[in-house]
Amino acid sequence: MEKNKNFSSAFVFSDPISQLEYARSHPFKPIRAKLTLDLCRRYGLMDRPWMRLIEPQPLDFPTMAEFHDETYLKILQEANRGFLPKDLWMDQIRSLKDPSAFDPKILQYGLGTEDNPIFPGVYDYATTASGGTLQLAQMIADGEIQIGFNPLGGFHHAARDHAEGFCYINDMVIAILHLLKRGWRVAVVDIDAHHGNGVQDAFYHDNRVLCISFHETGKEIYPWSGFEDEIGAGAGKGFNVNVPLPQYTDDELFEFAFEEIVPPLLYAFGPQIVMVLLGADTHRTDPLTHLNMTNFSFCRAVHTLREISPRILALGGGGYDIFKTARSWTLAWAILNEIEPVDEYAGSIGGMMFGPESDAGRLQDEPAVTRGSIRERIEKELARVVEYIKWNVFPIHNLLG
């Protein structure tokens, strides 16, 4: 029998939240969390004595208001019934804000858009999915656990006063603010295919938080930001790092950039906790992105972070091929807990419930390779970006470029 580890971990899950839909045609599917938990159970990854499965509790209004604009929060709260009638907009806003300063268009708050629709229970969903992240941060800070994973969280686009990019409440910023109040140094490593603009904006002038983001270049994809010259400002200069990945970046090229940038900066910064956004939309099959990566390099990145940091708060983020996402997150949970997944039903159950039959019986992909002139162009561009960061960011951390 496997001995207890010298750490404890917690996995956040809520069945009602995982069953919710933004809209039938919307690409963001919370059901990914249930698929991940089911797959973790199938591979014997949830039954260790050091693990806890916890139910997320909703964030309260004052906690959210430490970052979010109160007017925005109250409008989101009003939208919880699934609609915000036009005849209520003016009355509701007048009760919240000086009418002379009011723009009556509800869209200014990012609500009712294609990306961030209003649906029944939207406020309950956003506050509960985000609440799990703060719970994990508190548990880690209290020494109850060292490893936490909230596959329902990771809303790195949400802004102070509006919803954006499928994100209503920025759970990452709220959890980081809690940790900062406790005097912790926090590093964020975001490997989602979309730039974490909400987190970047929140801490762009802050040297207590090191934000490192790898994402498909903003020249080609939402949110059209996250370029290498966005390195922070004021006290935060050098504490915001972006590695924009050209389209068709493959596993090897991503791993090159990751290993050149992340370990040196984390060792130099010395965070007490690393918050990791495990967006799986970098996968080559993802319908919203254009990278040529698999969960091979995804796993290598998680391994590196696990070796560097004894405390990790991991979050779900993007991933719109839901079966590939469930595989990636299952592997991440295994790596974070330092155990090997073993299919307890091998030979008796097929893999169709988790994706194409060709993938049945294995979780990890073979690495993808981009070839020819496209690869040469990507390699040259990533070398340029890495060199830029080494010249402009590394010296701030007393690292030689």
pLDDT in tens, 200-217: 999 999 999 999 999 999
Q: What is the mean pLDDT of residues 268-275?
A: 98
Q: What is the mean pLDDT of residues 187-198?
A: 98
Once rounded to an integer, what is the mean pLDDT over residues 23-39? 97
Which pLDDT tens digit goes with each residue over 93-108?
444 444 444 344 577 8
Over residues 251-270, the mean pLDDT reads 98
The residue that leads in pLDDT, 131 or 96, is: 131
Inter-residue contact 156 to 199 (CB < 8 Å): yes
pLDDT number for residue 82: 86
Q: Which active-site residues does the annotation give?
A: 157
The yes-or-no verdict on residue 338 having pLDDT over 90 is yes
- What local confidence, expressed as pLDDT, does residue 217 receive? 98
Question: What is the rounded CA–CA span in Å between residue 162 and residue 158?
Answer: 7
**Structure confidence at residue 66 as a pLDDT band (50, 70, 90):** very high
Least confident of 112-126, 184-198, 344-358: 344-358
Instruction: State the pTM of this model.
Output: 0.92
pLDDT exceeds 80 at position 4 = no
273 pLDDT band (50/70/90 cuts)?
very high
What topology is assigned to 9-54+121-397 in CATH?
Answer: Arginase; Chain A (3.40.800)
The residue whose two tokens read 């790092």 is 241
What's the pLDDT score for residue 348?
A: 47
Q: Is residue 298 over pLDDT 70? A: yes
How far is 363 from 331, CA to CA, in rounded Å?
7
Is pLDDT at 59 greater than 80 in this prediction?
Answer: yes
* pLDDT higher than 80, residue 87: no
Q: Sorting pLDDT into bands at 50, 70 and 90, what band is 65?
A: very high
pLDDT band at 3 (very low <50, low <70, confident <90, very high): low
How sure is the predictor about 84, in pLDDT bands with cuts at 50, 70 and 90?
Answer: low
The residue that leads in pLDDT, 343 or 15, is 15
What local confidence, expressed as pLDDT, does residue 97 receive? 47
Q: What percent of the chain has pLDDT over 90?
A: 86
Q: What is the pLDDT of residue 45?
A: 97
Least confident of 85-94, 102-111, 133-142: 85-94
Give pLDDT tens digits for 225-256. Answer: 999 999 999 999 999 999 999 999 999 999 99
pLDDT of residue 346: 59
The domain limits of the chain are 9-54+121-397
- The 3-class SS string of the chain reads CCCCCCCCEEEECCHHHHCCCCCCCCCCCCHHHHHHHHHHHHCCCCCCCCEEEECCCCCCHHHHHCCCCHHHHHHHHHHHHCCCCHHHHHHHHHCCCCHHHCCCCHHHHCCCCCCCCCCCCHHHHHHHHHHHHHHHHHHHHCCCCCEEEECCCCCCCCCCCCCECCECCCHHHHHHHHHHHCCCCEEEEECCCCCCHHHHHHCCCCCCEEEEEEEECCCCCCCCCCCCCCCCCHHHCCCEEEEEECCCCEHHHHHHHHHHHHHHHHHHHCCCEEEEECCCCCECCCCCCCCEECHHHHHHHHHHHHHHCCCEEEECCCCCCHHHHHHHHHHHHHHHCCCCCCCCCCCCCCCHHHCCHHHCCCCCCCCCCCCHHHHHHHHHHHHHHHHHHHHHCHHHHCCCC
The pLDDT of residue 354 is 54
Give pLDDT, residue 108: 87
Is the CB of residue 324 less than 8 Å from the CB of residue 362?
no
